[in-house]
A and B are shown apart, each in its own frame.
Chain A
Amino acid sequence: MKERYPQALNRFIYLFLFQFCSTLIPKSIQKFFSVVVGGLFYLLMRKTRANVRKNVEGIGRGRWSNGKIDVITRRTFQNYGQYLLDYMVMHRLRPSNKEKWVEEEVGGHYMIEALRRGKGVICITPHLGNWEIGGLLFSFRGGKLSVLTLDERDRNTKSFREEMRKSRKIKNLYIDPKDDSPMAILDVVKVLRQNEIVAMLGDRIESQKTMILEFFGRETLFPIGVGVIAMATGAAVLPVFVVMERSRKYRGIIEAPIYFDCPRREDREATLRKGMETLINKFEAYIEKYPDQWYNFYSYWYEAKQSLRGAKDG
């Protein structure tokens, strides 16, 4: 699978650099740091900048001026800088100091409703805002959480992420994007059958399970693994979002559950489509509201178009 993140943005050395700075710089002046460093990355990384710009154009669907698109593009780099700074010191987040980080949490009743069903819950979010914080917030409430993630190539980065999650009793479930076996998701199913929570990201194609759906008005080959797992297990799907507000604090939102129940075999595709369309509508609403926090540094629709062409050619 093609490496989507520019290496410079996702390698351990940069995580280390941000950890170093986030430890030294007081939170009150971190905004300045993230604006300057993010701005620097914006200026230096021409190709990545062009990719993000194209993505922002896609979100705007032709309604935004060039000036607005440029501003959102630059802010995306700056906000990502803040995301990395927060990521590095997230281990300090505790229920007792939560208010320093989190402005508001809404929709908790949806989680209670979904867990009552007893078939597990899948929390799904796009690469928007700070999804890692969402995991910590669930763990504070005593939720048993596993994170479904791609295996990290870099050993140090993997170990850093694992340690951070392990300290909050969050389990990692790894997926191999090359493994197309129907058994690949068995570990996820086992967790859901114990009525636990599985968190996953759901806006990038990481496996062969896809469907052509409309995303921001464009035909897009979209990952449907979440729907497949939900249909097989009866788990509720909760769209969740953790976005940064103007105060530089986060807002955690849980949206209403989506169910993929399908008693008739012949209705599977229609049920999957309907459920995925509901989910995509939620993704679109939040990405459109927070376009400068959608962290995809490759050209999203260009790659989607390539995948779509590949799928159509068989």
Chain B
Amino acid sequence: MVEPNNDLIEKIKQLIIQRLKLVDMTPEMIESEAPLFGEGLGLDSIDALELVLGLEKEFGVIIPDAEVGRKVFQSVKTMAQYVLDQQARV
């Protein structure tokens, strides 16, 4: 399995900051493997849905169901991995 590169990780972090309007945050402040929800970045349901839409718009990848969503939105790294896997399929 090909691992996502730093460029993609950086783009995902930018997406999170822009879509969620985290005005006081920079990409460096987001750890790639930290949980997005709960104790990690502390995102909530509204953020989750915003990210679903963001991934679709920016990268053209769709989250087909809740089960996939749970796996994808664990961390920045899992998001990037999903984008990479989906793009490789096209």
Q: Decide: A232 and B65 in contact? CB cutoff 8 A.
A: no
> Nearest chain B CB to A173's CB is how many angstroms away?
11
Q: Decide: A264 and B45 in contact? CB cutoff 8 A.
A: no
Q: Does chain B have a CB within 8 A of A231? A: yes
- Write out, one digit per residue, whether chain A residues 91-130 have a CB within 8 A of any chain B CB (1) or not (0): 0000000000000000000000000000000000000000
Q: Decide: B70 and A183 in contact? CB cutoff 8 A.
A: yes
Given A264-B21, A265-B21, does the pair A185, B46 have CB atoms closer than 8 Å? no
> Nearest chain A CB to B72's CB is how many angstroms away?
9
- Write out, one digit per residue, whether chain B residues 39-63 have a CB within 8 A of any chain A CB (1) or not (0): 0000111111110100000000001
A228 to B70, CA, bound (A): 18
Interface size class of B (residues with CB under 8 A): 20 to 34
Taking a contact as CB atoms closer than 8 A, the residue among A179, A182, A228, A264 that contacts B73 in the complex is: A182
Q: Decide: A265 and B69 in contact? CB cutoff 8 A.
A: no
Q: Pick the most buried of A209, A231, A265: most chain B CB atoms within 10 A of its CB.
A: A265
Which residues of the other chain, A, contact B21 by a CB distance below 8 angstroms? Answer: 264-265
Q: Decide: B50 and A232 in contact? CB cutoff 8 A.
A: yes
Q: Decide: B46 and A183 in contact? CB cutoff 8 A.
A: no
Q: Does chain A have a CB within 8 A of B66? A: yes
| B interface, over-half SS | helix
Q: Decide: B65 and A189 in contact? CB cutoff 8 A.
A: no
Taking a contact as CB atoms closer than 8 A, the residue among B49, B69, B73 that contacts A232 in the complex is: B49
Q: Decide: A232 and B20 in contact? CB cutoff 8 A.
A: no
Q: Decide: A265 and B20 in contact? CB cutoff 8 A.
A: yes
Q: Decide: B52 and A189 in contact? CB cutoff 8 A.
A: yes
A183 to B36, CA, bound (A): 12
Q: Does chain B have a CB within 8 A of A187? A: yes
Q: Decide: B63 and A232 in contact? CB cutoff 8 A.
A: no
Smallest Cβ-Cβ distance to B44: which chain A residue: A182
Given A264-B21, A265-B21, does the pair A185, B65 have CB atoms closer than 8 Å? no
Known: A182-B73, A186-B63, A186-B66. 12 other contacts (CB 8 A): A181-B37, A181-B66, A181-B69, A182-B43, A182-B45, A183-B67, A186-B52, A189-B52, A231-B46, A232-B46, A232-B50, A265-B22
Which residues of A are in contact with B by a Cβ distance under 8 Å? 179, 181-187, 189, 209, 228, 231-233, 264-265, 268
| Pairs A–B under 8 Å by Cβ, sample size 15 | A181-B37, A182-B47, A182-B49, A183-B48, A183-B63, A184-B66, A186-B63, A186-B66, A187-B65, A189-B49, A209-B45, A228-B46, A232-B45, A232-B50, A264-B21
Which residues of B are in contact with A by a Cβ distance under 8 Å? 20-22, 37, 43-50, 52, 63, 65-67, 69-70, 73
